Amino acid sequence: MHESDLARLAHDAKRVRARHLRDLIADPNRSARYAQRVGPLLIDLSRQKLDDAALETLGDIAEASRWSEARDAMFRGEAINTSERRPVLHTALRAAESKLPMLAPREVLAEIATTRERMAALVDAVHDNTDGGIELARGITDVVNLGIGGSDLGPRLAVEALREFDAGKVRCHFLPNVDGHRTAALMKTLDPKRTLVLLVSKSFTTQETLLNGNVLREWLTNAYGGDSNAADRHLVAVSANVDATRAFGIPASRVLPMWDFVGGRYSVWSAVGLVVALAIGMPNFRAFLRGAAAVDDHFRTAPWRENLPVLLALAGIWNRNALGPASECVVPYHDYLAELPAFLQQLEMESLGKQVTPEGTRVAQRTVPVIWGNVGTNAQHAFFQALHQGTDVVPVEFIGVARPAHGLRANHDALLANMLAQGAAFALGKTFDEALAEAKGGSEAERRALAAQRTFPGNRPSTTILLDALTPESLGALLALHEHKVFVQAVLWGINAFDQWGVELGKTLAKAIEPVLTGAADAGQLDASTRALIEAIRSQN
Ligand code: F6P
């Protein structure tokens, strides 16, 4: 954004700050204007601390940014990821389910279609207990997904969230971390001869995934008395780096491609979602893509005032750049969405955690807030105290599901009543006078002291997203909604949402530190703090 945009926001913020959210939401027509549907999702922004004039200002800024031209360039496959000179085509992965003409290059769509067929054949082979013509091990009961970041978070979220749609053919396990505790524990509980190991890594250079891959390959080989050919039939890779998968020893027939035009955190729609398809079956996986495609179509066609990813982005920008909070909390009221905050953390913070433009100049405004959260109602009994009465205002995104997949009505009613109550409490608060009227007994001074502690400032914004039910379609829609929200924020903030140079420095340093830790190299150029910590670790081993 330009300095002049920020000045306009500051001007509107002055007016809006002077009002309490309680007064803004007193307008009985507000929900009709601020809550809209896209497919199975209702997005209610009525509890954002925004008025109509501020929204118009934000809309003007968005229109001036030419967000819709940037959007079309993405869908067409222009190289909008400029620092890596790559197109950004995760939307092409669900284009077959779209009702609009496909914009992505034909060869890209063809490759996606071929890969999807191979993915479906692999799922059939595992489900039907055949070798699929690719010498796949038979009798598979368990699948281990080795992958981290985007090769883990999206697939793990989808498998967990869609438990009700599980095809009942395999159990799925996830090993993202290089921490050997879980790897060792998993090897104790699984039967190697019945386990399929998916090595999911776009780059196929990720230390965590390759290290675990080698550990599990040795475990498989031992189970076959050293017969590595038999063991390797349990390995499938998903990667854009075919040379590296070959060097690892996985034949091309058991490698499903990924591409440079799909970012890791946007890749669950690709073969990276293989574990999802193994869990829920291909028809449900296609429904997941369909849900995302419906949001793509909406994003491509709706004017900004009705465009929900745009409105969500503008509400976020309003909070961050006009009102100022530095963090945003995501609270799904559904246990199966427990992985959603972590997924959104990567999607938003890896995409938008930038401070310079693609031209290398410093951005004019603050960018991504810290994204964090946990499921409700658990979170209410942990950190909500700070959200209600702490000195910092933290906007909250509530995610609820209207229709449960179980018959325990009282549980579900209590769950949703809590979600609605929290949003109301954040907005309305409780005044000192209300608290004082409730304070009984003690002296006047004691009553007043207690009332001060029992006052809720309120005036704290939230968004509520309501899914009709948690299904493959609604989950797909929910994730695509956030992907496009991130896209619009990146356009307005003038940053590239599709690279992640900020993760590289730590990786390079880890490579230099590891040999020092193992004693294979001396501390040399390492800084004094690192050297001292290495000493402390080595003294325990
Ligand atoms: O280190 C960050 C990152 O590159 C993420 O962007 C990515 O999702 C993750 O690592 C895993 O990468 P890969 O799929 O190449 O193993």
Q: Is the Cβ atom of 151 under 6 angstroms away from ligand 1?
A: yes
Using CA atoms, how far apart are residues 477 and 465, in angstroms rounded to an integer?
11
Query: Ligand 1 centre from 516 Cα, in Å?
Result: 25
Contact 235, 224 (CB under 8 A): no
Q: Is the Cβ atom of 198 under 6 angstroms away from ligand 1?
A: no
Query: Ligand 1 centre from 94 Cα, in Å?
Result: 21
**Residue that has been written with the tokens 């940037």 in this structure:** 70
Q: Is the Cβ atom of 203 under 6 angstroms away from ligand 1?
A: yes
Locate 277 and state its tokens: 């398809």
Using CA atoms, how far apart are residues 174 and 186, in angstroms rounded to an integer?
10
Query: Ligand 1 centre from 265 Cα, in Å?
Result: 8
Using CA atoms, how far apart are residues 211 and 189, in angstroms rounded to an integer?
20
Q: What is the CA radius of gyration of the chain?
A: 25
CA atoms within 13 A on the CB side of 62: 27
Query: Ligand 1 centre from 52 Cα, in Å?
Result: 40
Using CA atoms, how far apart are residues 415 and 287, in angstroms rounded to an integer?
27
Three-state secondary-structure class, residue 90: helix
Q: Global pTM?
A: 0.97
Residue having the nearest C-alpha atom to atom 8 of ligand 1: 150
CA dihedral sign, ordered 174, 251, 130, 233: negative
Q: Is the Cβ atom of 206 under 6 angstroms away from ligand 1?
A: yes
Concatenated DSSP letters of 29-78: THHHHHEEEETTEEEE-TTSS--HHHHHHHHHHHHHTTHHHHHHHHHHT-
Q: Using the atom order of ligand 1, give the atom closest to the CA of residue 208.
A: 16
Q: Is the Cβ atom of 202 under 6 angstroms away from ligand 1?
A: yes
Using CA atoms, how far apart are residues 388 and 365, in angstroms rounded to an integer?
27
- Written as tens digits, the pLDDT of the chain (541 aa) is 999 999 999 999 999 999 999 999 999 999 999 999 999 999 999 999 999 999 999 999 999 999 999 999 999 999 999 999 999 999 999 999 999 999 999 999 999 999 999 999 999 999 999 999 999 999 999 999 999 999 999 999 999 999 999 999 999 999 999 999 999 999 999 999 999 999 999 999 999 999 999 999 999 999 999 999 999 999 999 999 999 999 999 999 999 999 999 999 999 999 999 999 999 999 999 999 999 999 999 999 999 999 999 999 999 999 999 999 999 999 999 999 999 999 999 999 999 999 999 999 999 999 999 999 999 999 999 999 999 999 999 999 999 999 999 999 999 999 999 999 999 999 999 999 999 999 988 999 999 999 999 999 999 999 999 999 999 999 999 999 999 999 999 999 999 999 999 999 999 999 999 999 999 999 888 999 999 999 999 999 8
Which residues fall within 8 angstroms of residue 501, CB to CB, at 6 or more apart? 83
Q: Using the atom order of ligand 1, give the atom closest to the CA of residue 240.
A: 15
Query: Ligand 1 centre from 204 Cα, in Å?
Result: 9
Backbone phi and psi for residue 532, each to the nearest 5 degrees, phi listed first: -65, -40
Report how far apart, in Å, the C-alpha atoms of 155 and of each of 369, 380, 400, 527 are. Answer: 24, 27, 21, 38
Structure letter (DSSP) for residue 396:
E
Q: Is the Cβ atom of 423 under 6 angstroms away from ligand 1?
A: no
Read off the amino acid at residue 522.
Answer: D
Q: Is the Cβ atom of 239 under 6 angstroms away from ligand 1?
A: no
Using CA atoms, how far apart are residues 421 and 423, in angstroms rounded to an integer?
5
Residue having the nearest C-alpha atom to atom 3 of ligand 1: 149
Q: Using the atom order of ligand 1, give the atom closest to the CA of residue 151.
A: 14
Q: Using the atom order of ligand 1, give the atom closest to the CA of residue 147.
A: 16
Q: Using the atom order of ligand 1, give the atom closest to the CA of residue 150.
A: 8
Active site residues: 350, 381, 507
Q: Is the Cβ atom of 154 under 6 angstroms away from ligand 1?
A: no
Which residues fall within 8 angstroms of residue 447, CB to CB, at 6 or more apart? 436, 439, 440, 441
**Residue that has been written with the tokens 């914004």 in this structure:** 461
Which of 81, 83, 148, 204 gets mutated to test ligand 1 (max ligand atoms within 8 A of its CB)?
148
CA atoms within 13 A on the CB side of 526: 22
Structure letter (DSSP) for residue 233:
T
Report the DSSP beta bridge partners of residue 331.
Answer: 398
Locate 424 and state its tokens: 């109301």
Q: Is the Cβ atom of 347 under 6 angstroms away from ligand 1?
A: no
Residue having the nearest C-alpha atom to atom 1 of ligand 1: 503
User: How many residues can be counted in the chain?
Assistant: 541
